[in-house]
Amino acid sequence: MPEDETKNRKLENIKELGSVNLAEGRDNIQILPIIGQIEGHVNLSSETKTTKYEHVIPNLIAIENDKRVEGLLVVLNTVGGDVEAGLAIAEMIRSLSKPTVSLVIGGGHSIGVPLATASDYSFISPSATMIIHPIRMSGMVIGVPQTFEYFNKMQERINEFIVRTSKITGEKLTELMLQTDELLNDMGTILIGKQAVEQGLIDEVGGISQAINKLNEMMAK
C-alpha cells in the first residue's frame, strides 16, 4: 500500500541518514542532525555514533533541488571528527540557497564549530558547550617542516571559514584557540552557552522553539 511504503521510506531515511521531516503538513522544513563523530574517509568503530559525510552530502543536494523544502534546521551535538569531511559539509550548508538555522544542543566541538556557524543564523542552548582548539592529527606524523606547513594551511582554512560565517575576529579566534590554562594537557577554550554568543561565534542563546520560529520568519521573507 502507498501509505505503508511512505512509512517504510521515512523509517529507512531515519535509519540511514539520521534525517527526518517535520510532521505532515509542514514538509517545507528539513531537519539535519549532526551527532557523534564526523566520519571521514576511514570507517569508525560500529560502537561509535557517527555522522557520515557520504550520507549528508547527497541529502543536502536533495534539499537544494527539492522545491517543496523551503528551509533547513541543523541540530548539532558533536565531538568533532574528520576535518576535511566536516569542512566539506559546512561549505555545502553555507552554499544552500534556502534559509538555514543551526542549533547546538549538547556540544559543537572542534570541527563542529564551523558546522554550527555555517548556517544563516545560529542558536546555542544555555548549557551547550563549544571547544575551540588547534587541529590534531592521528597516526604517523613525519617530523619535517612540510608537515607543520600543512598543519598551518589546514588551520587557516578552518579559521577563515569561521571568521567568514560568524561575527568573531581572526585575532580573537586565534587567542581562544591557543589558550593554555583551560584544557588539561591541551590548548584551547571551552565556551558555554551565552559565552559563545558573547565571543561572536553564535548569534543567539535559544532552543528548538526559537530556532524553528526564526527559520519560519526567514522563510516568510
Neighbours of 132 (CB within 10 A): 28
Question: Helix (H, G, I), strand (E, B), or coil: what is residue 130?
Answer: strand
> Is 45 a catalytic site residue?
no
- Spot the catalytic one: 119, 122, 125, 133: 133
- Spot the catalytic one: 19, 102, 109, 110: 110
Residue 206: which H helix or E strand, with range?
none
> Is 55 a catalytic site residue?
no
Please report, as a single letter, which amino acid is at residue 15. Answer: K
Alpha helix stretches (DSSP H) within the chain: 2-17, 53-65, 83-95, 112-117, 145-165, 170-177, 194-198, 208-220
For 104-121, the three-class secondary structure string (H helix, E strand, C coil) is: EEEEECCCHHHHHHCCCE
- Catalytically active residues are 110, 133
